[in-house]
């Protein structure tokens, strides 16, 4: 039984790594293509508040998605 759990855990870790790499690649492409902030989050599609776009240049993610991306990045370190 532990072998199945170990395998499932490994598969889950691979999927998380792939999702993070995809998000980082999307963000990098967006930053290279756009010299301005996005109006809508590239991750969830929700509108990014105007105050956030004005306060920070090249914003591509809403606060919630940016927090999630930072948490995922910390987990992979």
Domain boundaries, the chain: 2-76
Question: What number is the average pLDDT over the span 32-61?
Answer: 84
Section 42-54 average pLDDT: 91
- Mean pLDDT for 51-70 is 91
The C-alpha atoms of residue 16 and residue 76 are separated, in whole angstroms, by 9
pLDDT at 26: 83
**Quick one: 48 exposed, middle or buried, by C-beta within 10 A (0-12, 13-18, 19+)?**
buried
Q: Name, in order, each residue with C-beta under 8 angstroms of 73's C-beta and a sequence gap of 6 or more.
A: 20
Per-residue pLDDT, 33: 59
- Residues 48-53 have a mean pLDDT of 91
Q: Which of 26, 56, 57, 58 is nearest to 42 (CA)?
A: 26
């Amino acid at each position: 039984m532990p072998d199945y759990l170990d395998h499932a855990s490994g598969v889950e870790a691979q999927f998380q790594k792939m999702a993070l790499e995809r998000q980082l690649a999307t963000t990098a492409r967006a930053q290279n293509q756009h010299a301005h902030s996005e109006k809508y989050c590239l991750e969830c599609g929700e509108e990014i508040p105007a105050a956030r776009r004005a306060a920070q240049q090249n914003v591509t993610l809403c606060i919630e998605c940016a927090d999630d991306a930072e948490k995922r990045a910390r987990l992979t370190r």
